[in-house]
Amino acid sequence: MTMDVTLNVNGQEHKLAVEPTETVVNILRNRLELTGTHKDCSMGVCGACTVLMNGRPVSSCLLLAPQADGQEIRTVESLEHDGKLSPLQEAFLTFGAVQCGYCTPGFLMTATALLEENPKPDRGEVIEALKGNLCRCTGYKKIIEAVESVVGQ
């Protein structure tokens, strides 16, 4: 049994026939060719699949397509404008916040949501926001420094 849903992804509407149990991460990766959203634990713990739904970070591995019907989804691919990186993306690059890069899109989306909601977070608020995204390479220090560097920009 399939059902029709409309996903608004990065400003584009996609009308899709989906299985009710299909996850948004699978739709993004397998049907919309948006592979920047990564998949790891599939149980909402690691944060690698974080996307923004109506501006809020969510684990797209736990988000079923019907739950996202009519909602606005943003992925890492939306951060760049006219070939120019967002200040946060550029900060990740120059601060060395990227190593293997598998967790990077998730961190970027969580941090983007934080800064949209709270443009001047202090360190405690940055850490609180990022605690649901796991990184095994960096030890988090440079990620937090990168986020802090764009506060107020």
Partner 1 sequence: MTLGDWKEPEGEKFALGTVKEQTHWQEEYHRLVRETVEQERALHPTEVETDPQTIGMRIPRNDALYKVRGRARYAGNIEMEGMLYGRFVRSQYPHARILSVDTSKAKTAPGVKGILTGAEIPDDRLLVGPISDDTPILAKEKVRFAGEPIVAIVAETEQQAEDACLLVDVEYEPLDTILTPEEAIAESSVTIDPVDGNIITDLHHGQGDIEAGFAEADIILENDYEIEPVDHCFLESPAGVAFIDPDDVLTVLVCTQYPHYHHKQLARVTGRPMDKVRVVQTVVGGAFGGKMDNTVECASALLTMKTGRPIKMVFTREEVFTATTKRHAMKIHQRLGATKDGRITALDVRNLFDGGAYRSYSMICSGRCVIHAGMPYRIPNLKVHHTAVFTNHVPSGAMRSFGVVKVAFAMECQLNELADKLGISPIEIRRINGLVDEDLTSTGQTLTDVGLLKSLDAIEPLYEQRKAELAGYSNGTRRKGLGIACLGYGIGYSGVRNPSTARVRADVKGVVTAFCGTPDIGTGSDTSLAMVAAESAGIAVDRIRVVSGDSTKTDDSGPTSASRTTYFSGNAAHIAGMDFKAQFEAAVAGKRDVPAEEVRLQEDAVIVRNERMNFEDACQLIGDDIEQIGGYGKFDPDIAVDILTFKGNPYPTYVFATHLVEIEMDTELGSVDLVKAWCAHDAGTIVNPTGAEGQVEGGVAMGVGQALWERVVREGGYIMNPHYRDYLLPSAKDVTQEIESIFVENHDRTGPYGAKGLAEVSLIPIPAAMANAVTDAVDVRPNHLPMDSEFVLDLLNDTSTNVAGE
Contact residues for partner 1 (CB under 8 A)? 29-30, 33-43, 45-46, 48, 75-77, 79-80, 83, 85, 89-90, 92-96, 98-105, 108, 123, 127-128, 130-145
- Cβ distance to partner 1 smaller for residue 70 or 139: 139
- Cβ distance to partner 1 smaller for residue 45 or 70: 45
- Cβ distance to partner 1 smaller for residue 67 or 137: 137
Residue 3 CB, nearest distance to partner 1 (Å)?
17
- Cα–Cα distances (Å) from 76 to 17, 20, 21, 55, 135, in that order, read 24, 25, 24, 13, 17
User: How far is 139 from 105, CA to CA, in rounded Å?
Assistant: 16
Q: Residue 94: phi, psi to the nearest 5?
A: -80, -25
User: How far is 27 from 147, CA to CA, in rounded Å?
Assistant: 29
Residue 149 CB, nearest distance to partner 1 (Å)?
14
Residue 148 CB, nearest distance to partner 1 (Å)?
10
- Cβ distance to partner 1 smaller for residue 68 or 88: 88
Query: How far from each other are the two terminal CA atoms of the chain, in whole angstroms?
Result: 48
Opening angle at CA 35, ends 83 and 60, nearest 5: 115
Residue 78 CB, nearest distance to partner 1 (Å)?
9
Q: At 74, is the secondary structure helix, strand, or coil?
A: strand
